[in-house]
């Protein structure tokens, strides 16, 4: 079964750090571009970051640029999001999502992991 499973969410104080992980299974992870997408409580979807299949190309939303770092380990079938200098407005469910070409649609999503930034 094709599956993505996120972990690493939790409660963190403003200014703190957190590292999210996304474990992939059921497909050749190294062949796919990946993303992080977040959803604040009661709000819509916001794209956060993109990484190419090899990890050589990376993009971020302006709202997280300079604070978040996306990475992947194709040998471990895993995607990561290192989040530093966290703010209250980063509070959200974070999803990892696979891209399918050429439409660049997000065809497989994880179940999400909740990040709460609060003192």
Member of 46, 67, 82, 91 binding other proteins (CB under 8 A): 46
Site stretch for other proteins (CB under 8 A), options 7-15, 16-24, 72-80, 109-117: 109-117
The strand pair at 68-73 and 10-12 is best described as unpaired
Tokens of 118: 């609060």
Q: How far is the CB of 5 from other proteins (least distance, A)?
A: 11
Q: What is the maximal distance between C-alpha atoms in the chain?
A: 43
Least distance to other proteins, CB of residue 67, Å: 18
* Chosen residue from 19, 26, 40, 59 binding other proteins by CB under 8 A: 59
DSSP E strands, 8-119: 10-12, 18-25, 34-39, 45-51, 58-60, 68-73, 78-83, 92-100, 105-109, 113-117
Residue 89 sits in the site that holds other proteins (CB under 8 A): no
Which residues of this protein are in contact with other proteins, per CB under 8 A?
A: 35, 37, 44-47, 50, 59, 61, 95, 100, 102-107, 109-112
């Amino acid at each position: 079964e094709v599956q993505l499973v996120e972990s690493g969410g939790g409660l963190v104080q403003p200014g703190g750090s957190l590292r999210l992980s996304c474990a992939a299974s059921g497909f050749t992870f190294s062949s796919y571009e990946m993303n992080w997408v977040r959803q604040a409580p009661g709000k819509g979807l916001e794209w956060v970051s993109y990484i190419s299949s090899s990890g050589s190309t990376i993009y971020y939303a302006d709202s997280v640029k300079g604070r978040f770092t996306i990475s992947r380990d194709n040998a471990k079938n895993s995607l990561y999001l290192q989040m530093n200098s966290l703010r209250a407005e980063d509070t959200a469910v974070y999803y990892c999502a696979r891209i399918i070409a050429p439409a660049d649609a997000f065809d497989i999503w994880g179940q999400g992991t909740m990040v709460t930034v609060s003192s």
